[in-house]
Amino acid sequence: MGSSAEKKAQTPENFTDIKIKAPSQNSVGFDALKSSVTHVLKYTKPLDAIKASLKMNQKGGFDCPGCAWPDPDDERSSIGEYCENGIKAMTEEMQNKLINREFFANHSVDELAELSDFEIGKSGRLSEPMYLPEGATHYQPISWEDAFNKVATHLNALENPDEAVFYTSGRTTNEAAFLYQLFVREFGTSNLPDCSNMCHEASGSALSETLGIGKGSVTLDDLYKAELVMVVGQNPGTNHPRMLSALEKCKNNGGKIITVNPLPEAGLISFTNPQSFLGLLKGGTKLTDVFVPITINGDVAFFKALLIKLLEKEEDIGEVFDLDFIKEYTHGFDDFILDLKTYDFDECLQAAGISEAVFNEAFELILKKNKIIICWAMGLTQHQNAVDNIRELVNLLLLKGSIGKEGAGTCPVRGHSNVQGDRTVGIWEAAPQAFLDKIESKYGFKPKSQHGYSVIDTVKAMNEGKVKVFFGMGGNFISAVPDTTYSAIGMSKCDLTVHVSTKLNRSHLVTGKEALILPCLGRTEKDYQKTGVQVQSVENSMGVVSSTKGILEPCSSDLMSEVAVVCGIANATLKSRTKIKWLNYKDDYNLVRDDIQEVIEGFEDYNNRLKQPSGFYLPNGARERQFKTNTGKANFSINKLPEWTLKDDELIMMTIRSHDQFNTTIYGLNDRYRGIFNERRIIFMNRDDMASRNLKDQQVVHLQSEFNGDIRQAKNFKVVGYDIPKNCCATYFPETNVLVPIDSFAHTAKTPASKSVVVRVIANTAN
Ligand SMILES: Nc1nc2c(c(=O)[nH]1)N[C@H]1C(S)=C(S)[C@@H](COP(=O)(O)OP(=O)(O)OC[C@H]3O[C@@H](n4cnc5c(=O)[nH]c(N)nc54)[C@H](O)[C@@H]3O)O[C@H]1N2
Ligand SMILES: Nc1nc2c(c(=O)[nH]1)N[C@H]1C(S)=C(S)[C@@H](COP(=O)(O)OP(=O)(O)OC[C@H]3O[C@@H](n4cnc5c(=O)[nH]c(N)nc54)[C@H](O)[C@@H]3O)O[C@H]1N2
Ligand code: SF4
Ligand SMILES: [Mo]
């Protein structure tokens, strides 16, 4: 009998010898160049890396496998359109080591599970399909055909198609994602959870309701032209580094920046553009004009305080609100104002945890500006009241008429490089009926209308024994989802777990009774099919669809493209009952795009328009002031302050990314900007909170979270005194996912509340 699923799902609790320095005041510059070069030399063939980097994010090249930040529409830098973390994402995929049958013969699943996520990732690229039979300790090789038949046999043996779940992570291209959801719907379920459920789902939900489109409204050009950009709950210096160049351009054009974050993140305070020689000499541009050190989940309170004061000024002196816009384009203004008047400014300020002086500085910047962009990411979406957070910032934009005009609007900054595109082409457990009707009329089968499982629903259904087959198209489900122990128990109840992956990860080790690893091509690699090397497409955070084409030879001849995997499995599973010629698509991806253009609005002439060097914009109603909401107008909304009652010994914890990881892929053990080196098991704490608990720097503690009476525990973290508001603390994801309660999620959007986990810090008396 091997280790339990719960144990295998845990990251090891040992320390790696921490070094601490003062946090940086500046981002990028020479250190970033140094870090990328070190990475390239250590893990790849440097010549390939240079060749690939010159094609990354270039017209006709491949799309960076990192985040979803857009590329400029017009000119692209010839030195390179990428950042330090783009290079790391690329080199992670291009590793010079391969994982093959010998590797798996030499290492049992239990043994691999004892490695850290960093070590697992550095084992190399998956290079051939592998199978873990029931009761076996080691994975063994399997042919592609047998693997497809195994999946088909399991799927066809289910009593009900809803006993299968098909997860997607956001790297999957439009072509693969469209076919995947088509297969799943023809198979008979809408169980299509995706990483978006844990990410920007709350943004989609709030924006659809208020502005009629679940995506942001701005373009890159708008950012350059904004008078004011607010960056709220986002750490672009690490997670969307090239956004800093856009912010720099905005500043050079006279724009101002307000940053709202519990942490003074280096990237936002000041930035040295590595592609600007002058910038390197000058030592950087100061980006943030006003830093608002908000308490975790204090955002509704902060925005309300702003709204209250704006209303006062409007009533006093006028010309603060855009009354013409409000009259012509919005709904619910009077009710919104009535409700706003019931709130007390001082209470809001206190709940936001900021001083009146800081508030006034931010307020003065906002008061006179009419071209405002608000950017946000996980700091707003991963709370129980995440949808309120976003609806409240929309209220501010509506009062200012800051939507649907140049230099103004909403900018939810998306995570994975094609997470937005996946949703556009139908990866959605709650797809709109109009989309399902289109599928029916095109393909002649009736997709299930009833909504399927989201991520949270999936984990619960697994635990209830309702899921027999889990299929993951990319991603690392077990490490990404909340409540690791509970989730691992659920996963182990499945009969078959399947992962289409480029790299080994913990989800391959926490399995159902049987498991399959299906290795696929990455973005950088050429996708050879019958009609030649295939082009695919992706959509970035600003709704631009562009092509991506790999340029390197595949790292192994036994890899398949995601498209080919979907076609193979669909063909093996649906056999004669399908209405679709699955195998044709894999020979020629143009055929997939022909279908997409028939089913999804905005993709007219897809194949031709994809040839345009910068791609094409998808339609966006909010950008045109056409609000496709239930009222036909942009809706004001009424949002309450969250109610927090922390007990004396409790803190609110946010689980965040270090500078050296891409989600669950750990590039290295440093968090350079925050001054942490060679350690991930740390907790950032306010020094007063440390003093009141008698905790010293680097002291070892255990963390406990309590939710609805259940206690969850994570052992061994080193305390790091940091510039973070009182009663707040921060740890890295995924080490502390074990503490995030499965039932703590955003109302209506079900995004896990992984930025507001109530914890107790318990000194380890053994040290
Ligand atoms: N290099 C790299 N790039 C990435 C990723 C990666 O892991 N590594 N991940 C990708 C993905 S999938 C995503 S979704 C994005 C994530 O991008 P981010 O959302 O920037 O990532 P997080 O580290 O989760 O950071 C959240 C930020 O919100 C702040 N914050 C936390 N709670 C609150 C709050 O209550 N209020 C406010 N105002 N701020 C708060 C934190 O201090 C932190 O600065 O990045 C994408 N890009
Ligand atoms: N506590 C806490 N939990 C979180 C978050 C948080 O902030 N805090 N953030 C959440 C967010 S925003 C997100 S998006 C999720 C991320 O959840 P996921 O998307 O599931 O996780 P990743 O770590 O991005 O997935 C990495 C794996 O994807 C595979 N992969 C990489 N490239 C490709 C490819 O091109 N094709 C295929 N098929 N596979 C590939 C590799 O095998 C790699 O191991 O995690 C969420 N979980
Ligand atoms: S900003 Fe994001 S998409 Fe652009 S190069 Fe960096 S990681 Fe890649
Ligand atoms: Mo994400």
69 touches ligand 3 (CB under 6 Å):
yes
Sign of torsion, CA 475 119 379 273?
negative
DSSP label of 619: P
336 Cβ neighbours under 8 A, 6+ residues apart: 395, 636, 637, 638
C-alpha 595 – ligand 1 centre gap (Å): 35
pLDDT on residue 85: 86
Say what the pLDDT of residue 276 is. 55
What gap in Å lies between CA 535 and CA 563, rounded to an integer?
12
Write the CA distances from 704 to 450, 526, 650, 653, integer angstroms: 38, 47, 9, 11
pLDDT at 50: 76
As given in the structure block, the two tokens for residue 184 are: 């799943």
CB 403 within 8 A of CB 322: no
Pocket test for ligand 3, best of 56, 79, 85 (most atoms within 8 A of CB): 85
- CB of 480 sitting under 6 A from ligand 2: yes
CA of 82, closest atom in ligand 3: 5
The CA distance from 536 to 353, in Å, is: 47
Q: Which atom of ligand 3 is nearest to the CA of 57?
A: 5
Q: Residue 718: which residues within 8 A CB-CB, separation 6 or more?
A: 15, 18, 679, 681, 682, 683, 698, 699, 700, 701
Contact residues for 688 (Cβ-Cβ < 8 A; gap 6+): 726
Closest atom of ligand 1 relative to the 656 alpha carbon: 23
Q: Decide whether any atom of ligand 3 lies within 6 Å of the 88 Cβ.
A: no
Answer yes or no: is the C-beta of 377 below 6 A from any ligand 1 atom.
Answer: yes
Ligand 2: which of 479, 536, 565, 663 to mutate, most ligand atoms within 8 Å of CB? 663
Question: Which atom of ligand 2 lies at the shortest distance from residue 503's CA?
Answer: 42
586 Cβ inside 6 Å of ligand 3: no
For atom 21 of ligand 2, the residue with the nearest CA is 475
Residue nearest atom 47 of ligand 1, based on CA coordinates:
239
Q: If you take atom 7 of ligand 3, which residue's CA is the nearest one?
A: 86
Q: Which residue among 11, 167, 169 has the greatest number of ligand 2 atoms within 8 angstroms of its CB, and so is best to mutate?
A: 169
For residue 196, the CA-to-ligand 4 centroid distance in Å is: 6
On the question of a common fold for 35-198+420-615 and 201-412, the answer reads no
- The ligand 2 atom at the shortest distance from the C-alpha of residue 523 is 35
- In short, whether 656's Cβ falls inside 6 Å of ligand 1 is yes
CATH number attached to the domain at 35-198+420-615: 3.40.50.740
Q: Which pLDDT score is estimated for 366?
A: 98
* Cβ–ligand 1 contact at 654 (below 6 Å): yes
Please indicate whether residue 665, judged by its CB atom, sits closer than 6 Å to ligand 2. yes
Smallest CA-to-CA distance from 124 within 505, 664, 498, 472 is with: 505
124-178: pLDDT as tens digits: 999 999 999 999 999 999 999 999 999 999 999 999 999 999 999 999 999 999 9
Atom number of ligand 1 nearest to Cα 233: 39
State whether the beta carbon of 336 lies less than 6 angstroms from ligand 2: no
DSSP secondary structure of 48-85: HHHHHHHHBTSTTSB--SSB-PPPPSS---SS-S--HH
Q: How far is the CA of 233 from the centre of ligand 1 (A)?
A: 7
Query: What is the CA(671)–ligand 4 centre distance, in A?
Result: 19
* 409 token code pair: 């609007």
- 61 Cβ contact list (under 8 Å, min separation 6): 54, 55, 548, 549, 551
Q: How far apart are CA 619 and CA 256, in angstroms?
A: 29
* Residue of 63, 88, 171 with the most ligand 2 atoms within 8 Å of its CB, for mutation: 171
- Name the residue ranges covered by the structural domains of the chain: 11-24+648-763, 35-198+420-615, 201-412
Q: Is the CB of 685 inside a 6 Å radius of any atom of ligand 1?
A: no
CB of residue 66 inside a 6 A radius of ligand 3: yes
CB 83 less than 6 A from any atom of ligand 3: yes
- Residue 245 beta carbon below 6 angstroms from any ligand 2 atom: no
Q: Which of 55, 66, 58, 68 is nearest to 539 (CA)?
A: 68
How close is the Cα of 73 to the center of ligand 3, in Å? Answer: 15
Pick from 454, 460, 444: nearest CA to 581: 444
Domain 11-24+648-763, CATH number (from 2.40.70.10, 2.30.30.220, 3.30.2290.10, 2.40.40.20): 2.40.40.20
What does 441-469 look like in DSSP terms, one character per residue?
HHHSS----S----HHHHHHHHHTT---E
168 in ligand 2 pocket by Cβ < 6 Å?
Answer: no
Ranges of the chain with pLDDT below 70: 1, 27-30, 75-81, 273-284, 766-767
Ligand 2 atom closest to residue 170's alpha carbon, by position in its atom list: 19
Ligand 3, residue 85: give the atom nearest the CA.
7
Q: How many CA atoms lie within 13 A of 84 on its CB side?
A: 30
Residue 333 three-state SS:
helix
pLDDT at 621: 97
Measured from the CB, is residue 538 less than 6 Å from ligand 3?
no
CA of 565 to the centre of ligand 3 (A): 27
What's the Cα-to-Cα distance from 246 to each of 71, 406, 731, rounded to whole Å?
Answer: 10, 15, 29
Is 241 touching ligand 3 by the criterion CB < 6 Å?
A: yes
Give 569: exposed, middle or buried? Use CB within 10 Å, 0-12, 13-18, 19+.
Answer: buried
Residue closest via CA to ligand 3's atom 2 equals 67
Ligand nearest to the CA of 275: 3
Rg (CA), the chain: 25
Quick one: pLDDT at residue 25? 74
Closest residue to atom 40 of ligand 1, CA basis: 379
Using a 6 Å cutoff on CB, does residue 417 contact ligand 1?
no
The per-residue DSSP string of 214-248 comes to SS----HHHHHH-SEEEEES--HHHHSTTHHHHHH
Q: Whose CA is nearest to atom 19 of ligand 1?
A: 378
Query: What pLDDT score was predicted for residue 77?
Result: 59
| Ligand 3 center to 544 CA (angstroms) | 15
- CATH no. for 201-412: 3.40.228.10
Find, among 715, 710, 718, 707, the residue nearest to 758 by Cα. Answer: 707
Cβ of 401 below 6 Å from ligand 1? no
Q: What pLDDT is attached to residue 354?
A: 97
CA distances (Å), origin 72, targets 376, 511, 542: 20, 42, 11
Give me the pLDDT at residue 78, please: 55
Of 208, 124, 162, the C-alpha closest to 748 is 208
For residue 174 and ligand 2, the question of a CB distance below 6 A is answered with no
Query: Which residue has the CA at smallest separation from atom 6 of ligand 1?
Result: 662
Give the number of residues written for the chain.
767
Decide whether any atom of ligand 1 lies within 6 Å of the 230 Cβ.
no
**Does any ligand 1 atom lie closer than 6 A to the CB of residue 297?**
yes
Least distant ligand from the CA of 723 = 1
